[in-house]
Amino acid sequence: MKFTCECGLFKKALAATTPAALAKSSNPALEGIYVLAEENGVTLRGYNYRTSAETSFPAQVSETGACIINARFIWDIVRSMPDGMVHLTVRDDLNFVIGCGNTELTGVALPAKMFPELPFLKKLTGVTLPAGLLKEMITDVAYAVSENDNHPINTGILFETNGTELILAAVDGYRLSVRRETLKTVPQTDLRFVVPGECIKIVLRNLPDGDEMIGIYPQNQHALFDLGAIRMSTRLLDGEFIDYRTTMSIINAQKVTLPVLPLIRSLEVMSVINNDRVRVPVRFHFKDGYLSISVMSSTSTATDAIPVENCPEDMEIGFNDRYILDALRSVHEDTVVMNVTSPLTPCLFTPEKGNYFAYLVLPVKLKK
């Protein structure tokens, strides 16, 4: 196998596929990138039996062929090369030479037959929407994806369609995030599936910017992500996702209108006192038209006050400051409505108009 290509194209293709390779595995093929050189260009594939990524780019191919090259090795090589033309030659004994300009490195590849076969997925019933919109929706809910494997279904993001509406949801046991948008193209049937968080991270890296249309097609316990020049697949999570509609039904709540940026800045000040070693609740005290925010550790204190609309008469609620900040940073408006009922019941953040987002956060019991 022998080809020459632009270094920038090679870097971009490796950046898209290497995250799908395993850093360490008993099967060395899963630590590698499958490199296929054909007459019309080069294709790269990464796969770890759960998530795959594949992309192609133009190249001058003088000898066709395929092999597997360690993903970390070739990525470190190519990303450090200057702009220009890169050449890669793999001999029959699988020793290879890769170079750019006066720089050359050698290594040993694996036979292509060791690479596992990717799931065969078609573009059947699915969802299509602009890449920029999907990126925004994922980013707005991803903070609530659980990192606890005790409930595997919570380690992913729910994708659900209801007629013309696309809904994304994530939950980690302490907060629940939901994001809605209207689809221009309605799927043939309503869909409901959960995409693993590890795949979501790679999708976010590979999503193009702007209004380029991309597609998501669930089928046979897998989902295909058609991201334009990049195709990804993932095994879907099994299990029953939380009934987020019931969970977010807060009856007889007081609706307090809060300014988003001043509240974020105030909480960022409070978070200076909190750290991973010592974390104390942030106190929200509603009284006389103001939200008083305070935090007190064994060595430091911080206080602030923000005028609010529809202020409750006298209510104090404790929160994990990081959980509130994550929710507020996903709000793209100047104000947000905080739905509260009591110091010990969940709090729900919603927009003043519409229902395109809903972020629920559990309070922390305060000590007197």
Q: Which CATH class is domain 2-114?
A: alpha beta
Taking all residues of the chain, what is their mean pLDDT, rounded to a whole number? 93
> What is the CATH number assigned to the segment(s) 248-361?
3.10.150.10
Q: What is the mean pLDDT of residues 55-84?
A: 95
User: 277 falls in which pLDDT band (50, 70, 90)?
Assistant: low
- Summarised one tens digit per residue, pLDDT across range 127-144 is 999 999 999 999 999 999
Q: Does residue 97 register a pLDDT over 70?
A: yes
DSSP secondary structure string for all residues of 289-336: TEEEEEEE-SS-EEEEEEE-BS--SEEEEEE-HHHHHHHHTT--SSEE
User: 161 falls in which pLDDT band (50, 70, 90)?
Assistant: very high
Give the integer Cα–Cα distance in Å for 38 and 61: 7
Do 2-114 and 127-244 share a fold?
Answer: yes
Domain boundaries, the chain: 2-114, 127-244, 248-361
Q: Does residue 220 register a pLDDT over 90?
A: no
**Is the domain defined by 127-244 classed in CATH 1.40.20.10?**
no
User: 296 falls in which pLDDT band (50, 70, 90)?
Assistant: confident
Residues 104/132, Cβ–Cβ less than 8 Å: no
Give the integer Cα–Cα distance in Å for 232 and 296: 47
- Summarised one tens digit per residue, pLDDT across range 176-195 is 999 999 999 888 899 999 99
What pTM value is reported for the model? 0.93
